Structures are given as C-alpha cells and as structure tokens.
Amino acid sequence: MPITAEKATTPVGDCSPLGEPFSIGSLLSCIMSSSDLRVALIGSTGYTALEVARLLLTHPSAELVIATSRQDEGKPLSEIHPMLAGRCDVTLQPLDADVIAKSADVAMCCLPHGASAESVKQLAGAGMRVIDFSADFRLSSLETYEHWYGVKHPWPERIGNVVYGMPEFFADEIRSADIVANPGCYPTSAIMPLAPLVKAGLIETEDIIVDSKSGVSGAGRSPKLGTLYCETNESISAYAVGTHRHAPEIADLVERIAGAAIEVMFTPHLTPMDRGILSTIYVKPAGKAGSVEDAVRAMMSLLRDTYADQPCVHVVDHLPATKYVAGTNQVQISVRPSGKRAVIVCAIDNLTKGASGAAVQNMNVMFGLPETAGLLM
C-alpha cells in the first residue's frame, strides 16, 4: 500500500475537522483556500510541462506558483513557452525541495527517468505530495525497471510501493498517496481497453498485438535526428521494435488490474502529426463465446459497464480517431470483428490523457476536487 502523507488528510475546501461547527471566520477561510491549491512544476521546458501550465491557467481551484529549470534559471516561463506570454509570469528557479515545500502543496515532476526519482525522493522527504511523469515508479519490479531502463534506481524501496495514476482503477489509493506514478501515454491507450477484458475472461491472454501510432510530441522537445521536420514529414515509421520500454508497463499493469499475466507484442510508430495516439489492438476471443461477432458485442457491453461512471472514458460505436480527442482528456474505445480476432481501437491525446491531463486528473483526486476540474472533456 502507498504511504499516506499527512498533508493529504484534509481535502482542499474541507477546513473544519469532522464534527466541529463552522464559524464565520473559518467559513471565509475555507472559501478562500478552496481555490488556493498551489502547484510546483519540476522540469519546465518540455511539452508536458507546457501542457500542465496551460491546463492550470483555467483550473478553477489550482494555480501554478513555482516552475523549476536547471539550465534556464531566472528566465520567465513564458520565454521558454511563448504560448504563455501575458498569462503566466512565473520565473524559473532551481530545484530546492525545502523551499518548494514551503510554497506549494503538490509537485508535478516532468523530469526524465533516473533523474526524476532522485528529485521525487527529495520532494517527498520535504513533505510534498508528488505526481511523477517519468517511469521511475510505474513498474512493480525493481529487476524489470533496471533491465529495461539500464540504470540503478536511486530509491529502490519504493518500487512496487507507489500507486499508478489511473483513477479509473486506483482512485482510492490515489486519494491518500504521497507519490503518484503518472501513466505512460502508450500504456494508457492499451491498458484501458485490455484490463477489463482480461479480467472478465473475454479474451485470450496470449498473442495480444498492440500496434500504436503517436504524434511527434511524444518524442519530447529536445532536438533529435529522427524527429526533425524533414525526417518525419510525409512519412510514418516504426521504431524500438521489440525493445520499447512501454511494453513491460502494459503487461505489468494489466496483470495488476486483471489478476492475470498477458503476453503482449507492442510496436510503436511515429506519425507526422503534433499530438495524439491511436492504438489498434488485435486479440482472440476466449472460450466458447460463439461467433466473433457475439464476442465483440460482449466486449463492447463489458467495456460500457466498466466505464459507465468514468467521465474520461467513452466506449463508442464509431471508430475512434486522434482528431476526436485532440486537446481533451478523453479516451475513446471501440471494438470490431475481423476474421477470428477482435480488433480494438483506442484513441487518446498523448499530451493530455497520456500525460499532463492525467496528472491534473490525479491531482484533483488527491485533493478532493471534482475529477474533471480544469480539463476539457
């Protein structure tokens, strides 16, 4: 179970201890504090950091108060991200966990793996609640992490002891967590449809094929040869075939949610668009479900029942597309028969539900706010 942070015991806006009446003063204090959730952005130069800042601009109960950058200290965040000009005047500062803990309630850590874990450890040690965007705390096995990421983990005792930031399955744990491991973008598009179907025994757990295509923003903002305009424009390419680090995350989380191990073949592709992920997943219906058409109807019914009360997940009759979810925190899922298999199609925006939107959703759950606050649905 995740460690419970003392700062988590009172949701934002709940200013009176249980059983004690409100005074006028405490009521006014509560009204003021209910819109005063203070957010620190750790590692502020990438696309996910920009998306967090953009979402917080319109959040009714939270604001960005601190942004850090080691290489751009002293610059305004709007100089790094001109989209924020005139709307966000936060000045970039170095990471000092004790200083940040005095000025913010929650930290969103947008650092790369390895470097992120050390910073998360410092922030949590200073009493901060942290949402970590890296893969440093997503996996349940230290051995698996160090094999796939090729580094020694700086806080190994927390591997397998941090809640995965998918409120659709782990909301109760997220509410009291000191650290939340924000999901990977590709895994979100695979876990959402697969986990309920595996748990219900509607699909075979072997020979699952996940074919995913992502916009170029998924590769990050740092310049790389493979993401230059002339390399990506008018082209689509597979990469990291058989070696992508999100494959073990998909398998690990489906097993945690569904209680059954899966065999998954995951292949990512880079497509010439800014944002979005479309995953096409090929599965075999399990048992004696009758025709594939009957199996698909059962899958659609099960998915609709699973997500009926989840505001961010929509099981749809049309085929999902990245354009339908762009800029939103939506997940769109549909299933079709094809020969002896069922084909699941799932679309998300990699920068929102695949990263920053999920982080805001997790923050809302952690602090007792409406789950979709600040998110475009």
> How many residues in the chain?
377
**Selected catalytic residue, list 88, 185, 312, 346:** 185
Does the active-site annotation cover 185?
Answer: yes
Q: Are 171 and 253 in contact (CB under 8 A)?
A: no
Q: How would you label 136-172 residue by residue, b for 16+ Cβ within 10 Å and e otherwise? A: bbbbbeeebbeebbeeebebeebbeebbbbbbbbbbe
Helices first, then strands: H and E counts in the chain: 13, 14
Sheet holding 129-132, edge to edge: 92-93, 62-68, 37-42, 106-109, 129-132, 179-181, 163-164
Check the CA dihedral 339-341-342-343 and report its sign. Answer: negative
Q: What's the distance, Cα to Cα, between the start and end of the chain in Å?
A: 31
C-beta atoms surrounding 318 within 10 Å: 9
Q: How many CA atoms lie within 13 A of 298 on its CB side?
A: 18
d(CA 15, CA 6): 15
d(CA 118, CA 124): 10
Catalytic sites, residue numbers: 185
